[in-house]
Structure 1
Amino acid sequence: MQEQYNNDDEQLKALGYTPSFDRSMSLWESFALGFTYLSPVVGAYTLFAFGMTAGGPPFIWSYLIAAIGQMFVCLIFGEVVSQFPIAGGLYPWTRRLVGPRWAWMSGWIYMWALITTVAAVPVGGAPFLAYLLGFTVTPFNTTVIALVLLFASTLFNQLGTKALARVAMFGFICEIAGALLVSGYLLLFGRLNSPHVILETFNLGSGGSYLPAFLAAALVGMFCCYGFEACGDVAEETPNPSKAIPKAMRMTIYIGIPVTIYTCLGLILAVPDLQAVITGKDVDPINTILTRNFGEIGSRVIYGIILISHISCILSLQAAVSRLIYAYARDKMIAFSGVLSKISPKNHVPSAALILAGVISALIVCIGFFIQEGLTIIVSFASVGIYIAFQMVIVGALFARFRGWRPAGQFKLGHWGWIVNILALVYGVAATINILWPRSPDAPWYMNYSVLLSLTIVLVTGCLYLLLEKPHRNSNAPAGDAWHITRQSKKNVKKDKVTNLAMNEE
């Protein structure tokens, strides 16, 4: 094992970086990190009411569509991280595929999307803690609980990689067990509706077409089906990352999305009054379902499991964004790089980056308190930000392929690489357009275009920082060398062939 660690460190040095993290996260723990970030229970329970009101029971199909599209993305990510297993994920990948300026913008968008997601999860989980403790769910109580959860997550993440890995694994076990048991019981003993309801439109949509309603509800699937990239964010904390990380990413989708669909199906078939949920009359269908089937005490136990899922999800998200901020700072691509690039000598984590991520997420939670439909706006922006950042990697991979890049890691798609890359781009562009598409013409413009407005602010501030501060000039870290490596490898092969031919002639 020590030999493997040494080889991993030598690989990282060859990529231009000095090892700083503790490589103590196994393949299964890396997968658990991605799984708890994707978090089937968090996604299914937090956005169940939204999915039902927007598209009715057929919204469940959005999980499958998102899983297929995101699998294309995941495969491309696997090729990139296998060759460049560097902490921070999307930022260092795009740096090596294209260059520092492209990397700056992809990392900037991804960072804000992650921080926003960190804010969304505790807001979605706060009602379950309120139910568990017997509090009334109010906007004020939800905000306070969310801030407490963020504070606790920031403190716990300071304990180090081993603690994070153990919590991620514990959260994975609780989430799997809870999802299987709760939905299993609902499907066996709590079912009130026919499975056929997932094919019924309930007269939703406009102009006689159900498609607009389904596209609106598809936000649920899009929000739930990312998180696999978090495995790459901790690549420097995983042994043999070139092989382990791509596998952990795929496992996240293979296991996470079927569990999500299974969880959601159990809930849909156990709804006492579908019309009340679809019309919004039953504003809290999860509580209705659980209380009816498990009683007051049993439902509180389930709320505890759901809360554990939310907490482990927050921890995983915050760990991912802190590694991204650290990667930025290590390359001197962001303000206060000297502080943000420091690794705790005791626990080997970027302490300042963790604190910064926690503070900004807390501010977003506070802002959401004053905005109507705050959670929906936060989730929408988080989704579109993630998708755009993902597509910057996909476009970067296509750009590098045109320049001659041939993936050189332990995971390669071979001749399928071009096809999968193009399919990943088509899906990502379509999903991004769907998220940004305005669907409430009667709403005030700032509500109807709130996601687009938020995205524009992030893009403009990122471009201004890039233009005025020119962070790409501050670093000598390797950049835009993916295709150079391929060319050099080809030259070496040709050189070896010539040498061997000359020796044979002699």
Structure 2
Amino acid sequence: MTSPPSPAVNEHDDAAHLSALGYTSEFRREMSPWANFSLGFTYLSPVVGVYTLFAFALATGGPPMIWSFVVVGFGQFLVALIFSEVVAQFPVAGGVYPWARRLWGRKYAWMTGWIYLVALLVTIASVTYGGGFYIAPFLGFEATTVNVIWGGLALIAIATLINFMGTKVLAMAAIFGFTAEIIGALIVGGWLLIGHREHGLGVLFDTFGTEGSGSYLPAFAAAALIGVYQYYGFEACGDVAEEVPDPGSLIPKAMRRTIYIGGAAATFVCLALILAVTDIPAVISGEDADPVSTLLDDAFGTVGSKIVIGIVLISFLSCAMSLQAAASRLAYSYGRDEMIMGHHLLRKFSPTRHVPPYALIVAAVVPAVIVAGSYVSTNAITKIISFAALGIYMAFQMVVLAALRARLKGWVPSGKYQLGTWGVPVNIAALVYGIIAMVNMAWPRTPGEPWYDNWIVLLSAVVVVGVGLLYMVIHPLHDRSDAPYDDAIPKS
């Protein structure tokens, strides 16, 4: 499962490869391998993922929920291997949309991209809204709905400004975000383990009765959402394929590093938090609803906890910035292929900054509207955001399915990264894992709530897919697009 040796390449080789795929890029290849990895890492963001869902996961499954990082990490690693093969052969900006286009066809690609774009825009809203809860106390304000909204909007505005400055600034910001997050995670986690450890490693096998009177599996499956929510972001390395030199070699490596390092960092942060929680039963009972804040205050004091929250905010900003970069490249790719209404604007390019300005505006305005909408109904934003993780997994698995179908029809990956004889079994395993993960995300777990709330994750997915299908019928631009498609499979 290693990349075959390849000759040295230069910018002309990259342009020639892209030209052979039917495109001439307007992006600058100014993103180094380190920056490309950092973009994926900050999108995955261990701090954001763990801090956001730690209380829920611990209360639902107890300390053994940490093992979900291992299970989910392995499953998403299989998906990353499939993506590595595809991006090595088709290093085109936009990620899952152009990959599905080459592996299957225009209609399938349109729906894949639609689901992914909606999920990305909703995830940007989710991350920035969540960041608003940290901005308020950092600035000394109460985390009221209005203050949280303004904090979320501020994060969107700063992320947009960074993205508008071009690939080089985005790359520098990604590296800074990665450095701050990894150092912060190590310092905070190390201090908690050394100075505030309350439990031994044996607690990682103690469910604290979260299983009730039945099997522990349902409780673990629900708590495992912390792992499921954590392990995506590696695909962002491929979303900016036209901004990376020698993408066929470098992006597969960056994707795998994102899984290795991001997963290890997330597991370490989660481990430190679990072992430092003084009263785990209080978290499970709901008495301590915010154990992360409790820990930070106890371990670092008022001033120290503000410094830690500052690092956490850098993580939220970096995550939003990377998500926005991915969403804008996808929207641009859609526009360049004339696949959607407004494509004349989405495909426009800034001649000075070498970024797609209108695609970036979409990646800022839509999340901002969602965040601002929580002023009317906090419940509404919760329902909208519920689609985020499932939508991204759906788009991932549509590519995995397309790759498996293409293999069975004769596709033999020809990029610089190839799985060889392992291709089919890895592809099947990645698909099986993805289906199980999606079922777990959509599974109803609140029988006391109205049926529409109990099934909200699945219902939101049905709505997004339904709207996409309706759009395809009313405005079938995808059938008129003459950009290359369905060319991975050999024609007899």
Q: For structure 1, which segment, 355-364 or 310-319, has the greater mean C-alpha deviation from structure 2 after superposition?
A: 355-364
Q: Is the 8 A contact 1:90 1:107 kept in 2?
A: yes
Match of 1:312 among 307, 312, 318: 318
Structure 2: how far apart are the matches of 1:147 and 1:198?
Answer: 38
Structure 1: how far apart are the matches of 2:72 and 2:370?
Answer: 27
Match of 1:346 among 341, 346, 352: 352
TM-fit CA distance, 1:371: 4.4
Aligned to 2:193: 187
TM-score, with length taken from structure 2: 0.96
2:253 corresponds to 1:266: no
TM-fit CA distance, 1:190: 0.8
What pairs with 1:93-108 in structure 2 (closer than 5 Å)? 93-108=99-114
TM-fit CA distance, 1:52: 1.6
**Aligned partner letter, 2:401:** V
Residue-pair matches, total? 486
Report which of the two structures shows the higher radius of gyration computed on alpha carbons: 1
Match of 1:418 among 418, 424, 429: 424
Deviation string 1:186-245 (CA, Å, 9 cap, x unpaired) is: 111110122222211111135422211111111111111000000000000000000001
TM-fit CA distance, 1:156: 2.0
Q: Is the 8 A contact 1:219 1:380 kept in 2?
A: no
2:285 corresponds to 1:276: no
Structure 1: how far apart are the matches of 2:27 and 2:209?
Answer: 55
What pairs with 1:98-177 in structure 2 (closer than 5 Å)? 98-177=104-183
Q: Supply the RMSD in Å over aligned alpha carbons.
A: 1.6
Q: Is the 8 A contact 1:206 1:212 kept in 2?
A: no
**Aligned partner letter, 2:250:** A
Cα distance change, pair 144–411 in 1 and its aligned pair in 2 (3 A): same
Aligned to 1:330: 336
Aligned to 1:467: 473
Cα distance change, pair 377–214 in 1 and its aligned pair in 2 (3 A): farther
Structure 1 segments of 4+ aligned residues over 6 angstroms from their partners: none
Structure 2: how far apart are the matches of 1:218 and 1:373?
Answer: 23
Structure 2: how far apart are the matches of 1:188 and 1:378?
Answer: 40
**Aligned partner letter, 2:354:** H
Q: Is the 8 A contact 1:380 1:435 kept in 2?
A: no
Partner secondary structure for residue 117 of structure 1:
helix
2:384 corresponds to 1:384: no
2:222 corresponds to 1:220: no
TM-fit CA distance, 1:446: 2.4
What pairs with 1:7-18 in structure 2 (closer than 5 Å)? 7-18=13-24
Deviation string 1:421-441 (CA, Å, 9 cap, x unpaired) is: 000000000000010010111
Aligned to 2:206: 200
Q: For structure 1, which segment, 50-59 or 456-465, has the greater mean C-alpha deviation from structure 2 after superposition?
A: 50-59
Partner secondary structure for residue 10 of structure 2:
helix
Aligned to 1:77: 83
Match of 1:480 among 468, 472, 486: 486
Cα distance change, pair 309–425 in 1 and its aligned pair in 2 (3 A): same
Structure 2: how far apart are the matches of 1:370 and 1:420?
Answer: 46
Match of 2:44 among 35, 38, 44: 38
Aligned to 1:492: none
Cα distance change, pair 47–371 in 1 and its aligned pair in 2 (3 A): farther
Identical aligned pairs, as a percentage?
Answer: 53
Cα distance change, pair 375–214 in 1 and its aligned pair in 2 (3 A): farther
Deviation string 1:381-417 (CA, Å, 9 cap, x unpaired) is: 1111011110100110011111100000000000000
Structure 1: how far apart are the matches of 2:454 and 2:75?
Answer: 26
Structure 2: how far apart are the matches of 1:321 and 1:78?
Answer: 19
Aligned to 1:498: none
